């Protein structure tokens, strides 16, 4: 029996998911530390800064969310779909990391502002960004759809 060796490492998407979980856990740990600091009363927020950050933070967060979507879509659209599967995988990994990094940056900024102002409004933004982070998790299905993978390659990926 000649078993064809798949060019896709068996753990390719597992590795992407480990990266995803690492980025997510860093945000969650920072958020928990921020909540602990606020709850313990060990920090005094800059109350006067609260007003300005109420306007700046949503703009920064929204800009990061839109940039992550725009950059990912642009990278996928400009990619030559006729290239081999290995090239598609590399492009998908790069695009996914950039998208997740932009969302993580927005969340880290948001948590930092939450700590500075000691305002729980920013905890709500954390929940929203984290939800978007989950929706942008790299998956085999998204890869197959976004990169228009052939049916033969899709079977290699899924199996």
Query: Which among 28, 33, 53, 55 has a CA at the least distance from the CA of 43?
Result: 33
- In this structure, of 48-57, 61-70, 126-135, the range with the lowest mean pLDDT score is 48-57
Are 73 and 99 in contact, with CB atoms under 8 Å apart? no
What is the per-residue pLDDT across 86-122, written as a single tens digit (0 to 9) for each? 899 999 999 999 999 999 999 999 999 998 888 888 9
Report field, pTM of the whole predicted structure over 0.85: yes
Instruction: Identify the pLDDT of residue 1.
Output: 41
Instruction: Identify the pLDDT of residue 47.
Output: 61
The dihedral through the CA atoms of 60, 138, 124, 109 has a sign that is negative
Q: Domain locations in the chain? A: 12-37+71-158
The Cβ of residue 76 has, within 10 Å, a number of other Cβ atoms equal to 19
Q: Which residues lie below 8 Å from residue 155, measured CB to CB, with a gap of 6+?
A: none
Q: Residue 144, by phi and psi: left (phi above 0), alpha (psi -120 to 50) or beta?
A: alpha
What is the per-residue pLDDT across 1-57, written as a single tens digit (0 to 9) for each? 444 545 566 688 999 999 999 999 999 999 999 999 888 877 766 666 677 888 899
């Amino acid at each position: 029996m000649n078993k064809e060796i798949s060019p896709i490492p068996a753990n390719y998407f597992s590795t992407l998911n480990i990266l995803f979980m690492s980025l997510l856990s860093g945000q969650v740990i920072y958020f928990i530390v921020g909540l602990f600091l606020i709850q313990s009363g060990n920090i005094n927020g800059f109350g006067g800064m609260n007003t300005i950050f109420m306007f700046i933070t949503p703009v920064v967060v929204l800009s990061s969310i839109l940039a992550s979507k725009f950059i990912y879509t642009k990278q996928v659209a400009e990619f030559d779909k006729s290239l081999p599967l290995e090239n598609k995988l590399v492009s998908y990994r790069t695009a996914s990391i950039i998208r997740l990094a932009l969302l993580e940056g927005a969340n880290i900024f948001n948590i930092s502002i939450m700590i500075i102002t000691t305002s729980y409004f920013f905890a709500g933004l954390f929940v929203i960004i984290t939800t978007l982070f989950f929706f942008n998790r790299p998956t085999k299905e998204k890869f197959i759809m976004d990169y228009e993978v052939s049916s033969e390659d899709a079977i290699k990926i899924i199996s």
